[in-house]
């Protein structure tokens, strides 16, 4: 995503000399290895019985443009959730430059069959390109409809249009997200990058993409909503 002149946005045996002795030890070591492996297989389901499988589906803000992979939003969100005791698996399905049209086109292969929840973050590139808000709304609506039809819970991350596009465009674009959240009863975060825009050290030199510290702020802000998303998944599984 790139917009020139507009900086408001959301934008890791010892050796044995006696050959015969060494050969005698090998079956024992192999048996020990098998026994240990079997033990892990028995323990693993208890330690991580059934993680909540979430796909972070978005553009460069999700993909982690300009930061190390471990500092991208999905990675830091997963770490924060695990610190709080949640068993989660979060896939990074962010693609830099994607519009809502591109997102709709890759939806089926970006969100695997075993997905239980999606964090949906798109629209910034549409706004930067001046895409008609009704088209953005239609694309997002179809994505949400298809996810819900698959029994997938959705958290919708909202975006704001650049204010220099005019009052009419801003009103139409900004209104897309709360309207869709209400229509489908979604968990809703009005502005994905709340609290970081224009703050030194939290956005990169382009004035748009978050730094690693900025991602920390995004994660902190969105964490309660993601916890609510996980609760919805658990409730659905229990019913």
Annotated catalytic residues are: 60, 206, 209
The residue among 76, 42, 38, 33 whose CA lies nearest residue 56 is 76
Instruction: Give CA–CA dist 99/127, Å, rounded.
Output: 9
CB of 84 within 8 A of CB of 53? no
Query: Six-digit token pair at 179?
Result: 């309207």
Q: What 3-state DSSP class applies to 167?
A: helix
C-alpha of 233 from chain center: 16
The residue among 195, 199, 137 whose CA lies nearest residue 171 is 137
Instruction: Give CA–CA dist 106/110, Å, rounded.
Output: 6
Query: Residue 54 pairs with which residues in a beta bridge?
Result: 90, 117
The Cα-based distances of 180 to 111, 144, 146, 172, 222 in angstroms read 20, 9, 13, 13, 18
CB of 77 within 8 A of CB of 157? no
């Amino acid at each position: 995503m790139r917009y020139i002149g507009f900086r408001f946005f959301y934008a890791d045996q010892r050796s044995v000399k006696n050959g015969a002795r060494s050969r005698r030890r090998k079956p024992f070591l192999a048996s020990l290895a098998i026994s240990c492996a079997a033990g892990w297989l028995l323990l693993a389901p208890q330690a991580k019985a059934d993680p909540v499988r979430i796909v972070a589906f978005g553009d460069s803000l999700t993909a982690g443009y300009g930061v190390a992979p471990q500092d991208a939003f999905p990675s830091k969100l997963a770490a924060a959730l695990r610190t709080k005791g949640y068993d989660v698996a979060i896939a990074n399905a962010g693609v830099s430059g994607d519009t809502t049209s591109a997102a709709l086109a890759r939806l089926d292969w970006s969100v695997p069959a075993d997905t239980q929840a999606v964090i949906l973050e798109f629209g910034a590139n549409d706004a930067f390109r001046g895409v008609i808000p009704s088209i953005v709304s239609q694309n997002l609506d179809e994505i949400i409809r298809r996810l819900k039809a698959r029994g997938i819970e959705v958290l919708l991350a909202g975006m704001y249009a650049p204010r220099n596009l005019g009052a009419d465009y801003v009103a139409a674009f900004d209104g897309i997200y709360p309207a869709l959240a209400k229509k489908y009863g979604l968990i809703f975060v009005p502005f994905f990058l709340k609290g970081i825009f224009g703050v030194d050290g939290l956005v990169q030199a382009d004035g748009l993409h978050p730094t690693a510290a900025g991602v920390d702020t995004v994660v902190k802000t969105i964490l309660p909503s993601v916890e609510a998303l996980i609760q919805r998944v658990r409730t659905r599984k229990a019913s």
